[in-house]
A and B are shown apart, each in its own frame.
Chain A
C-alpha cells in the first residue's frame, strides 16, 4: 500500500517524503513489537484465511520467535533505511520509484518470514528476488547495473525454482503444506525416503539466496545498487532469507549426517573465500559485501553444526550482523555521498569533518570486531563456545572461524576507523557532516548494537531465546552476558582480536598479495556465469536456426503436412473411416453453385498471373458463401462474403507490395509436393467432416440455445446471442487477439516501410 503511494508523495514532498513513508514500516515494527511478550512466553501467533479453497491453498501466517525477530529486524531497519534513502537520493528524479521498490521489497520480505503456507513462502521469496532485481538495476542506464541485476535475478530465481521443487517434495513426504503443521510433524521428514531430494533442493534455494560459495558472486556485483539497497537487502535482510529457510527447517531436517556435513562445509568455505576476497578489495562497499558473504557462510556453518549452543550462536550473530553491517553500509554510503569516493586509499582524516558518522562507524566496527560490551562480542563468544571441541572436525571449524573473524575484524576497522583517522586524504570533494536523514540510520543501528550488548538479559529474553527455541525446535534459554569470563572462548576471542589487529595494520600488503593470488587463479564463478549465459544464447540461436528457417513456404508446408497427417493417420490406424454418404437428390441451383466453386478452383490452379489466382480464389469463396446461404446459415454466409472480399483486397495489396514476379516459376518437384500436400489436406478435412456428420449429434447445447436465446438473452438471432452473450468471454478474448494481431501486423509493416528497399532485396535473396 505504501509502495503505491510513494511516487505520488515524493512528487509533492521531495525528499522529505521519507519522514512520512517511514511511518509505514514503523507502524509494522510497533505492531510486531506488541507481540513480543506473547512470543517470548513460548507461544506463537498464527492466523489466515482460505485463498484458493479448492486447491487447499491458504493465505496464512505463523509468528514464532524466529519470524518475529526477523520481522522486527526488517521493519526496524526498514524504517531507518527509508529515512536514509530520503537523504541519500535527495534530488534524484526517480526517488519516488525508489521508495516504491524498497517498500515493495519490505512487504515481500515481511511476507516471506511470516508466511505459513508453502505457496506463500515461495511467492514472497520470488517477490523479494524481483524487488532485488529492480533495486539493483535502479540505475538502469548503466551497463554494469543491468548486468548485476540480471545476474542476481538469474541466480536467485533458479534458487527459487529449486525451493519450489523442494517444498513440493517436502509436502509429498509429510503431507503438510504449512510450516506450522510441518514443524509439528516431528520425524516424518527425516525418516522419509524423499529426504535426500528435499535436502538438495532446499539447499539449492537457500544457498543461492544467501550467496554461499560457489553462488556467492552475485552479491558483490549487486553492490551496483544504491547504498541504501546494499545496506538493507544485501546485508541486513534479503540475503538472510536463505539462512531463515535453513533455520526454519532445522527442527525437521537438521540432526542428520548430511545436514551436519554439507552445511558446515559450504558455510566454512564461504566464510574463508568471503573474507579473503574482502581483504583484496579497496572499495568500501565491496569490502563490506564480501564480509557479508563471509558472515552468511558463518551463519550457515553454525546452523548446520547441530548443537544447541551453535544455534544460539547463529541467532546472536544474525541479530548482531544485521545491526552492525547495516550501520557500516550506511556509513560507507555516507562517506561516499560526502566525499565522492569509496576508495579506502584516498580516505582518511574525516573525524573532524564528520564526527557523528565517525561515532556510528566506530560503534558498528567495535560490534563487528566483537569487542566486549557489544552485541557482536556475545555472538563471537557463543560461536567459539559452540565450535570449540577436540575432534578434527571441530578444530578445523574453529580454525576457519578464527581466521575468518580476524579478517572481518580487520575489515570492520578498515571501514569504520581508517577513513576517519590520520591526516586528511585526497578525496575529490571537501567533506562535511551529512544531514540528519543520513546519519540517523547508522547511528541508531550502531547504538542498538551497544545497547543490546549492555542490556543483554533483556535482549535475550525478548529476541534471542524465543528465536533460538524456534530454530532448535525445543525451548532454549540464551544466557551469555557481556562480562568476559575466562575460558577457551575468551582465549580464542583474544587470539582473533590480535590476529585482526595484525591484519588491519598490514592490510595494504595483504591486499596486494590477495590481488595477485586472485589474478593467478584468473577464472571464477563470476566469469563462469557469463560464459554459461553466452553458451545458452548460442545454443538457443542454433536451435532456432534449425527450427525457424525463416522461409514462409517451409513453415506452411510443415504446418499443412502436420494437419493432414494428424487427421489421416489416426483415422486409418483406428479404422474410423467414414461410410460413403448416401447421395440424396441435389437441387439444380446447388449443383450450379458447386460448379462455380470448382471453376474458381480450376482458375486458381491454371492462372498464370498471381493476381488472377487471388481473384479466382475469391470466386470459390463466394460460391461457398452462397452455399451457406442456401443451406440456411445467413450469418455465416454474410461473414464469409465480407471475409472473402477483404482477403482478396488485402492479399492483392500485399502481393503488389512484395514486388514478386508476376507469374511464378517453381520447379516441378516443388509443385508435385505442394499438390500432394494440398490434396492430402483436402482429403483429410473432407473425411473428417463426413465422419462428424455421421456420428450421432449431441444437440443438448443447440437446444439450450434455441430455447433460451429469447428468454434469457432477449435475442432472436441465436448466432449473435451466442457470440455476445452466452460465449461473451470467448468473444472478448477473440477481439483482444484481433487487436493484438492488428498491432503486430502494423508493426511489421512499419518496420519494413522504414528500410523497405533493403528488406525487400533481402527477402528476394532468401526466397531464391
Chain B
C-alpha cells in the first residue's frame, strides 16, 4: 500500500478532500450535500492519510483528539438549538441573519451551525474508530 506515489499524493489528496468536504457541508442547504455527507468525506480523507503516513501523522494533523472534536460538535449542535430560547421560539427553530462581509451578503443561521455540529460529530466519531483500528494494525 505504501508506495512512493501514494505517500506523496496522499497529503494533497486528503487536503483536497477536506476542502471538498467543507464545501459540501456549506452548500448543503441549497444543493446536494450537508453535514453527514461532508463528514463522511472528511473521514475518508483522514483514513487515506492514515493508511499512507500512519496514525501518528493523522493525530498530529488533527491536533485535537477525534472524540473531543465529536463532543464539541454535539455541543455546538445543542447550543445552536438553545439560541432559540432567547427569541422565545421552540427549541431548534432556525434563526437567520444576514451579514455584509467583504462587500457580499452572507446568510448566517443557527441551522448552519447545527449542520457544522453534525459534521464534526461524524468526523470525530468515525475517525476515532478508524484510527484506533489502523493503529492496532500497526503494532
Question: Hey, which bits of chain A sit against chain B, CB under 8 A?
Answer: 634-635, 638-639, 642-643, 645-646, 649-650, 653-654, 656-657, 712-717, 719-721, 723-725, 728-729, 731-732, 735-736, 738-739, 741-743, 745-746, 749-750, 752-753, 756
Question: Chain B nearest CB: distance from A747 CB in Å?
Answer: 10
List the A side residues contacting B94 at CB < 8 Å. 712-714, 725, 728
Please tell me if B49 contacts chain A, counting CB pairs below 8 Å. no
Shortest Cβ distance from A710 into B: residue? B30
Question: Chain A nearest CB: distance from B71 CB in Å?
Answer: 7
| Residues of B contacting A: mostly | helix
Question: Hey, which bits of chain B sit against chain A, CB under 8 A?
Answer: 24, 28-37, 40-41, 43-44, 47, 67, 70-71, 73-74, 77-78, 81, 91-92, 94, 96, 107, 109, 111, 114-115, 117-118, 121-122, 124-126, 128-130, 132-137
Q: A712-B94, A749-B129 are known contacts; what are 10 more A-B pairs with Cβ within 8 Å?
A: A642-B37, A657-B136, A720-B34, A720-B115, A723-B34, A729-B92, A731-B118, A732-B77, A738-B122, A753-B136
| Residues of A contacting B: mostly | helix
The answer for the CA separation of A750 and B128 in the assembled complex, in Å, is: 11
Question: Chain A nearest CB: distance from B102 CB in Å?
Answer: 21
Shortest Cβ distance from B84 into A: residue? A728
List the B side residues contacting A749 at CB < 8 Å. 129, 132-133, 136
Question: Chain A nearest CB: distance from B23 CB in Å?
Answer: 13
B30 near A739 (CB under 8 angstroms)?
no
The answer for the CA separation of A487 and B77 in the assembled complex, in Å, is: 78
A742 near B47 (CB under 8 angstroms)?
no
Which listed residue, A642, A645, A713, A750, touches B111 by the CB 8 Å rule? A713
A724 near B122 (CB under 8 angstroms)?
no
17 CB-based A-B contacts, threshold 8 Å: A638-B33, A639-B36, A642-B40, A646-B130, A653-B137, A656-B137, A715-B29, A724-B29, A728-B81, A732-B81, A736-B74, A738-B121, A739-B73, A739-B74, A742-B126, A745-B129, A745-B132
Contact flag A723-B92 (CB < 8 Å), given A653-B130, A732-B77: no
The answer for the CA separation of A756 and B137 in the assembled complex, in Å, is: 12
Question: Chain B nearest CB: distance from A629 CB in Å?
Answer: 10
List the A side residues contacting B128 at CB < 8 Å. 742, 746
The answer for the CA separation of A731 and B114 in the assembled complex, in Å, is: 9
B130 near A743 (CB under 8 angstroms)?
no
B92 near A728 (CB under 8 angstroms)?
yes
List the A side residues contacting B32 at CB < 8 Å. 634-635, 638, 717, 719
The answer for the CA separation of A729 and B93 in the assembled complex, in Å, is: 10
List the B side residues contacting A756 at CB < 8 Å. 136
Shortest Cβ distance from B38 into A: residue? A642
List the B side residues contacting A643 at CB < 8 Å. 40
List the A side residues contacting B70 at CB < 8 Å. 738-739, 742
B81 near A724 (CB under 8 angstroms)?
no
List the B side residues contacting A656 at CB < 8 Å. 137
Question: Chain A nearest CB: distance from B29 CB in Å?
Answer: 4
A714 near B129 (CB under 8 angstroms)?
no
The answer for the CA separation of A569 and B126 in the assembled complex, in Å, is: 37
Question: Chain A nearest CB: distance from B129 CB in Å?
Answer: 5
Which listed residue, B29, B30, B41, B125, touches A741 by the CB 8 Å rule? B125
A635 near B37 (CB under 8 angstroms)?
yes
A739 near B41 (CB under 8 angstroms)?
no
Contact flag A729-B34 (CB < 8 Å), given A720-B28, A738-B122, A745-B129: no
Which listed residue, A719, A732, A739, touches B124 by the CB 8 Å rule? A739
List the B side residues contacting A716 at CB < 8 Å. 29-31
List the B side residues contacting A739 at CB < 8 Å. 67, 70-71, 73-74, 121, 124-125
A742 near B124 (CB under 8 angstroms)?
yes
List the B side residues contacting A719 at CB < 8 Å. 32, 34
A746 near B130 (CB under 8 angstroms)?
no
A714 near B34 (CB under 8 angstroms)?
no
A715 near B129 (CB under 8 angstroms)?
no
Shortest Cβ distance from B78 into A: residue? A732
List the B side residues contacting A753 at CB < 8 Å. 132, 135-136
List the A side residues contacting B67 at CB < 8 Å. 739, 742-743, 746
B129 near A650 (CB under 8 angstroms)?
yes
List the B side residues contacting A646 at CB < 8 Å. 40, 43-44, 47, 126, 130
List the B side residues contacting A721 at CB < 8 Å. 29
Question: Chain A nearest CB: distance from B87 CB in Å?
Answer: 15
A649 near B130 (CB under 8 angstroms)?
yes
Question: Chain B nearest CB: distance from A704 CB in Å?
Answer: 16
List the A side residues contacting B47 at CB < 8 Å. 646, 649
**Which 8 pairs of residues, A with B, have the shortest CB-CB distance?**
A742-B125, A642-B40, A728-B92, A715-B29, A653-B133, A634-B32, A716-B30, A735-B121
The answer for the CA separation of A363 and B91 in the assembled complex, in Å, is: 61
Question: Chain A nearest CB: distance from B2 CB in Å?
Answer: 15
Shortest Cβ distance from B47 into A: residue? A649
Question: Chain B nearest CB: distance from A170 CB in Å?
Answer: 37
Question: Chain B nearest CB: distance from A657 CB in Å?
Answer: 5
List the A side residues contacting B30 at CB < 8 Å. 715-717
List the A side residues contacting B111 at CB < 8 Å. 713, 715, 724-725, 728
Which listed residue, A639, A724, A742, touches B115 by the CB 8 Å rule? A724
List the B side residues contacting A736 at CB < 8 Å. 74
Contact flag A746-B71 (CB < 8 Å), given A717-B34, A735-B121, A739-B125: no
List the B side residues contacting A735 at CB < 8 Å. 73-74, 77, 117-118, 121-122
Question: Chain A nearest CB: distance from B84 CB in Å?
Answer: 10
Question: Chain A nearest CB: distance from B15 CB in Å?
Answer: 18
